[in-house]
Every structure is written in structure tokens, then in C-alpha cells.
Structure 1
Amino acid sequence: MNTRQLQHFIALMENISLSAAAETVHLSQPALSRSIKALEEQLNVPLFIRSDRRLRPTPYAQAWEATARRMLMNEKEGNRLLQMMQSGETGRVALGMGSSLIDELLGPLIETMLKTLPEVQVKVSVETSGPLLNLLRDRQIDFFVGDTSIARHQQDLAVEALFTCGFAWYASRQHPIALHKNIDIAQLKCWPMVIASGYFDPAVVEHMEELYGLSSGLYDNFDVQSNDFQIVKYLLSSSNAILAATDISMINDVEAGKVVKLHVTPPLSLTLTLGILRLTDRVLPPVTERVMTLIRDRLKQTEIRRIQL
């Protein structure tokens, strides 16, 4: 049984007249009769009988009509679903990124998806780049946004660099040294020092240690380390903590006047490149490309705001 046979059956149920039904489905009367006869043979029951030169539905036809209509509707819905998937308007996408990107990237991304892609289901994993790489290779996520340096020499990864972050020291606007100039590392150490720990390129860690003479190791000089950036930001706003962070993670708070970038000498002359990382051998559905386009657009807007700031 096929879709055309179902359409022919419904046409006969609605018209009864063979000629009218044939005209509805754009067939000759003999062709329509052959189609119905083939359907009856497949179902092994009579569907119509001739009476007074008209076709009358049998009890079998009356009982089966609702099923036939449902089968046609399901096929139409299935075709619609496939068309929407091809256009990226529906489907499922699983992505990941670090908690430092929640305010500037992840939150606005999900908000936009809810408005523009309401048929898309999204699953988000908030982790640092190391765990996200494991999730990617386990195929639990389709892609993630993270530090592209983690993909160095990794042949199974495709990387699209999108945004180069700078690093700086930050404090709340009310901090006693917020407006000081030429702050050195000794002055910073007079206050609780906080860092959002996660994946750091070893070259970045080494550079920070050399830049500030941190012979005991970078992380030993911080009072608080956390891979949850929301906790880090809470400490920054509720205490006299000093934070080392990327500019993208702090751009909203700097714009809002909640925090300031400290004038530290020497400055943190470091960069980190954010990008989209995915597996080279994995074919992703069209909806994934739609979501990645939203990420690209958002980061372009962030770059404009950073320049203005």
C-alpha cells in the first residue's frame, strides 16, 4: 500500500461517484478502479460495492477510513519534519562551553534560539575545555566553544577560530585600588586573588609565572580557584577579591560599571583564541550549522562592543 492508494480511497469516500473521485485525484476512471482493487487485495476485504450505478462503502471501508486518514496525516507530518530538518528549523543539537561564557554568549544564544528556532531542542553542557573534549569524542555533544589551543596536534578535530580574548586583572568599582595606577604584583597579593581554573594552555601558565615572578607556581599564588565562573563573579562583587580573567567574560560587568580593569604593571599581555571545535569525521545535521551561525554572529557583536568599550 502506498500514499497514492490512500489518497484514492479517501477521494472515493468523500465523493462516492467514481467519476468525481477520479477527477479529484487526476486519474481516469479505469485507473482509479484498478488502484482501489489493488488496495482491496492487499487488505483482503471489499471496500466498495456498486449500487444503483454508484459506489457504496462497505463496513470495512467505514471502519478503516479513520486509520487511512491518520496514515496520510502522519506521512505529511513526517515529510514536513524532514523538510524542517533540512532547513535547520527543527532537530536536536548538543553543545558545550565554559561557564565564563554564560553571560556573554551562552545565555543570549539560548534566548535567541527560543525565539527564532522554537522547534529545536538544545542540550547544553557547561564545562571547561578538557571535559568538553571528552564529551565530544564520546559523541555526547555535537561541538563545543573553547580554547582552540587544546586541539593542537589533534588530527580528529576540526577547529574554527572565532574570537581572540585578552587577559586582565579585575576588581569591583568600590575596591580600594580600583583607580590606582601602575599596580604591581606585590600590591595585588595584599588582596584575595581569584582565578577561574580550567583548561589553560601550558604556554599561558608559564608566561604568567615568568611575567610576575611566581616561582612557586601560578596556582599556588591564588587564594581561590574555581571552574564555576558564577562563583568567581560573586566573590568579585561581594568582597575585595582581585580576579584574573578574559575580557569576554567580564565585558558585561565592565559595561554596567560593576567592575573595572586594573592598571597592573606589567599588564597581562596574553591572548586566548576561542573557537568552535568538532570531530572531523562526524556529519552534523543542518540545525547545528544554524546554531553555529548564531554563535558567529554573537561573537562579531561582542568584538564591536569590545572596541567601543
Structure 2
Amino acid sequence: MDLRRLSHVVALADTLHFALAAEAAHLSQPAFSRSIQAIESELGIRLFDRGGGEVRATPAGEFVIERARKLLFEARCLQREVDLYRDSQLGDTAFGVGPLLSASLMPRALVELRQRYPKIALRMEGGNSIQLLQRLRAENIEFFAADVRDMPNDASLDIQLIGGQLGHLYARAGHPLVGHACTLRAAWNYGIAAPKLLTPTNEELAALLDLPAGQVPELALECDDYSVLKTVVLATDTLLAATDAALESELASGALVRLQVKNWTSVPSIAGIVRLHGRTQSPMAREVIACIARVASEINESPIDGLTAS
């Protein structure tokens, strides 16, 4: 069976549009159409219905498409493993990191990696866990490290837990709330700056703030870049949701202060390394993962034992 034609089937299944699929496959539309017709003829079944300007997979097509995706993934894995075996080198690598770990863990990890492997090229992509999962599935990155509490229960993913950090609220020095305990409601009224909140955090905050059923707590500023969040919080009365490890230098200098919030202890994050099941990691990816796990163990406030990824 021709893997190239199978890739055309998957491209058409993803776009449901012959012109867009042909463009993705770098073929003219007539050539792409002939490729689809050829594999339908070879298999003796119709994979797609075309009518009224719409394209949709037939039941037989859905059966073939699902297996085609697996075959193509395995073919890419095989090629990758052959390349790694042949070259016997560390190789460059691309990976993703969530907002909290970017601020708290990666500066230390990247320094260590650059010191140990000065000739290796690393590409670190930031984003929230949903964005990083999309990039992982598209195989644009080898793995990502992030809070995994919103990860789906999916057999196609391997998740290695690396601990967690306790979240707190922080304010600039001189903020009206600094120096005495406050309620979560009082803190919330000043506006909270944070990366995208995960489902467990949203549910916890909604209950503590006594919000109506179904209402989601609204951040005053949602941003996945902690450097931007810190700039805003240092210049305004906005409060920052973060961890001690993410604000190490600001806490040491006294520029930011952790607030005392009555009757509230945040549920710790659950950090993990997320990979595609069955995909062989490059030697350099394995080195990066080991380094991230090692640094995480040094800064964790919540042990790995007992943690479970959702």
C-alpha cells in the first residue's frame, strides 16, 4: 500500500476540501484527485462522498482513515529511529513548556543544558497546555512540560509526573493588602493576573468566591508570559497568581510580597512531561527531559508520590 497516497487520504479527511488538501500535499488539484481515485480503486471501496460541493468520509473511509493515521505515524517513527541509529548523535531538539514552568524551572534548566551542550541547538516553545498538546500531536515538538491537570485521559499520550508547586497571590511592595491577612474576595476585587486557569483551579475559585452555578471566575489579566504579568503587577494594584519559584528574584529583592489569604490554600500544580506514546525520543530530548525532571525535584513543593494526572 502506497504511504504517499494514504497521506493524501488523511489530508483530505483533515480539510474536507480537495483544493486545500492538494495544496497541503504540494500537488495540483487534478493530480491529487487522481491519487484519491487510485487508492479507492486499489482498495475497492469509496472513501469519500462528493456531492453538493461537500466532501465527507464514508463509513468505510473513516475505517481506513483511522488506520492510515497509525500507519503514517509508525512510518515517521521508523524513519526517525533509523536516522538516530545511523547518526549516533545527540541532535537538536524542539520542545514546549507551559507558563509556570517557563518562569520557575526553565531558566535554571536551560543554563545547565547550555553549559553541558554548547554546540546543540534547542528550540523551546511557550504556550498553555492546550496549545502545546496541539503542537505535540502535529509533531512540531518532541514533548512538552506543563501542568497536566487538564490533559485528556488518552492512550496516545505518555505522561511522566515531575511534582508540583503551591500557588499563592502576590502584590507589589506597598500594596494596600500587604502586611495583614485578607480574604480571597478582598484580593479578587483588586484583579488577578495569571496564565489561563485550568479546570480544577476554576472550580475551586468559583466555590470559594460563591459564584452562581456555571459561572467561571474572570481574570483581570490573562497572559501566558510571566514577564509581562510581573511588569503589570509591579506598576499597579493588580495581584499576581504564581509560585515562589517563579518569582525568586522579585521576592528576594522585596519588590513582590506574598499575601496572607485567610482560609485559602491553593491546590498544587501537577507538572508533567507529555510525549506521544510509541514515538522514540532523540538522545538530546532525553537529556532535556532528564534535566527538567532533575531541576523540578529541587524546586518542588509537592512530591510526585500520590499525584495523578487527569
Whether 1:177 aligns to 2:177 is yes
Aligned partner of residue 264 in structure 1, secondary structure = coil
Aligned partner of residue 270 in structure 2, secondary structure = strand
User: Which residue matches 2:187?
Assistant: 188
Whether 1:140 aligns to 2:137 is no
User: Which residue matches 2:129?
Assistant: 129
Whether 1:271 aligns to 2:276 is no
Asked if 1 retains the 8 angstrom alpha-carbon contact of 2:105 and 2:246, the reply is: no
Greater C-alpha Rg: 1
1:204 to partner: Cα distance: 2.3
In structure 2, the gaps of 5 or more residues are: 1-85, 304-310
User: Which residue matches 1:14?
Assistant: none
User: Which residue matches 1:219?
Assistant: 217
Q: Return the alpha-carbon distance in structure 1 between the equivalents of residues 145 and 224 of structure 2.
A: 16
Say what the alpha-carbon RMSD is for the aligned residues. Answer: 2.7
Residues 115-151 of structure 1: per-residue CA shift (max 9 Å, x gap): 1112221111111110000000100000000122233
Q: Return the alpha-carbon distance in structure 1 between the equivalents of residues 101 and 111 of structure 2.
A: 14
From the superposition, tell whether residues 144 and 247 of structure 1 become closer, same or farther in structure 2 (CA, over 3 Å): same
User: Which residue matches 2:204?
Assistant: 207
Could you tell me the TM-score, scaled by structure 1's length?
0.64
1:254 to partner: Cα distance: 2.3
Q: Return the alpha-carbon distance in structure 2 between the equivalents of residues 302 and 243 of structure 1.
A: 20
Q: Return the alpha-carbon distance in structure 1 between the equivalents of residues 264 and 100 of structure 2.
A: 21
In structure 1, the gaps of 5 or more residues are: 1-80
Aligned partner of residue 273 in structure 2, secondary structure = strand
User: Which residue matches 1:37?
Assistant: none
Aligned partner of residue 145 in structure 1, secondary structure = strand
From the superposition, tell whether residues 206 and 160 of structure 1 become closer, same or farther in structure 2 (CA, over 3 Å): same
User: Which residue matches 2:58?
Assistant: none
Asked if 1 retains the 8 angstrom alpha-carbon contact of 2:244 and 2:251, the reply is: no
Asked if 2 retains the 8 angstrom alpha-carbon contact of 1:171 and 1:240, the reply is: yes
User: Which residue matches 1:24?
Assistant: none
Aligned partner of residue 158 in structure 1, secondary structure = strand
User: Which residue matches 1:233?
Assistant: 230
- Number of residue equivalences: 219
Give the fraction of aligned pairs with identical amino acids, expressed as a percent: 21
From the two aligned structures, give the one with the greater strand fraction: 1
Aligned partner of residue 234 in structure 2, secondary structure = helix
From the superposition, tell whether residues 185 and 137 of structure 1 become closer, same or farther in structure 2 (CA, over 3 Å): same
Q: Return the alpha-carbon distance in structure 2 between the equivalents of residues 93 and 299 of structure 1.
A: 20
From the two aligned structures, give the one with the greater helix fraction: 1
User: Which residue matches 1:159?
Assistant: 159
Aligned partner of residue 169 in structure 1, secondary structure = strand
